[in-house]
Structure 1
């Protein structure tokens, strides 16, 4: 009995230590940031202003542009990335494929490269006289160089390409791990019943990967709502704020413009609200109906 009590006490000590650290480094800053969102001023001279920061947010044209841009990235990039990750995972899970290890490493490698380093490389590759334009011109796909960094439409396309290149391999690893747990006998039985590869994918692979699709969908949504490095390092949010994201706008409010930490905190909670909303929607869509 004494041994059980001592083990129980040790267990509660470990739980208590973890709870203290989580509260100290996660919940306390969140609470302080929420309180800060109701204040305004510079440095330590902050005054309570109630809901003025949130009212200002919905009348701020730059904030609305940042929210719009973030939604555009979310709507287009996340589905494309998830579909590509599933496509590559199915291809690389083929037991007959040679050099699987090489291909898996090559596709996963972008996700371990420095965000700043690859953003700078993309900026030079997609410059007006960069390699991408030269390649497209040589193949006669275009008649004149595309202004990837200066045109609002192509600048958004560039950001979507960059994010997709960076994170597709990361999500692919989760799908590969899930496919490893699918018994080959399931596919063999489907073949005997006359199912073609496309039918096998939609009626076997996708349902089997449903929990992983939900997980990668939520994590990718959160990552896109917090998007900062690519717009900051590739386009600086330009041209004319057309690639500005919410996180980048928060940075500008805090460090680039006249510091307004209270308003920046209020804008940051838009990300929290949007994350919760999209997570709930995805759980509803991915949940089992009873």
Structure 2
């Protein structure tokens, strides 16, 4: 009986220690994440200015679907999502596969070079791309000298090319970030698996599709969810590269929410409604991805 009491007291001490470590983090999550989400939802049900707000129900949510600029921002954001995310993740997997080769020399240098754009400041790299694709920028100067263009083209002044520049900037910055996750996943795969496939006569392409991709599935799902989350909240590139132009042709949802709350006549109720709508989209897409990727019986 004494031994049982001592063992129970030890378990209680372990539980108490566990709660002592968890409580500060849990409180921080509640205060910094859940409380603002609840406040944002309550604010989305109100309209007004300053400290004078009144409850109007779901009026702000109904207004969203009549707001042409917001609907355009949704279309732009999903356009970036549908093109940039697949290209970026495919490039990240291919680069990780190449840089995981045990016979490759200077692997550390190549990995650093691919990851380096991710360490660049969001504002800095957006401004750099803006100067590169300016009408008198480096890209136009090179194209004119090569004889491809007769004069500088306004890449950021046309809707199609401005979107292409934003997508290119996103791919340049975030491919290395996702490559690190795939590289970590590849290094957890035993090399004997590849050797066995090689003995069985599988070529590089079959090995990649039949071994690498299935074993990287959890990592692929994780990076896909993170990329969706990040793209749906895209802000810096829209603001610093094109400022949402021309004529709101490149504006994103987060950019329009910022304009609604801080740039134009402040409307925090309507801005909160749009922000909560983005939150719901992110949550739904993450749930779908997890369900699709869950292979458990």
SS in 2 for 1:149: helix
Pair 1:11-2:18 in alignment: yes
Q: How far apart in 2 are the matches of 1:289 and 1:140?
A: 57
Q: Which residue matches 1:279?
A: 286
Q: Which residue matches 2:241?
A: 234
Q: Which residue matches 1:36?
A: 43
Q: How far apart in 1 are the matches of 2:65 and 2:86?
A: 28
Q: Which residue matches 2:183?
A: 176
Instruction: Please report how far the alpha carbon of residue 138 of structure 1 lies from its aligned counterpart in structure 2 after TM superposition.
Output: 3.1
- Write the deviation string for residues 177-224 of structure 1: whole angstroms up to 9, x where unpaired: 011111111111111222111111111111111100000000000000
Pair 1:159-2:166 in alignment: yes
Alpha-carbon distance change, 3 to 25 in structure 1, aligned in 2, over 3 angstroms = same
TM-score (norm 2): 0.94
Q: Which residue matches 1:194?
A: 201
TM-score (norm 1): 0.96
Query: 5+ residue gaps in structure 1?
Result: none
Instruction: Please report how far the alpha carbon of residue 147 of structure 1 lies from its aligned counterpart in structure 2 after TM superposition.
Output: 2.1
Q: How far apart in 2 are the matches of 1:143 and 1:204?
A: 50
Q: Which residue matches 1:270?
A: 277
Task: Point out the structure with max Rg over C-alpha.
Answer: 2
- Write the deviation string for residues 127-175 of structure 1: whole angstroms up to 9, x where unpaired: 1121112223333444553321100000000000001111000000000
Instruction: Please report how far the alpha carbon of residue 3 of structure 1 lies from its aligned counterpart in structure 2 after TM superposition.
Output: 4.3
Q: How far apart in 1 are the matches of 2:23 and 2:251?
A: 42
Q: What number of residue pairs does the alignment pair up?
A: 290
Query: 5+ residue gaps in structure 2?
Result: 1-5
Pair 1:88-2:110 in alignment: no
Q: Considering only aligned residues, what root-mean-square deviation do their CA atoms show, in Å?
A: 1.4
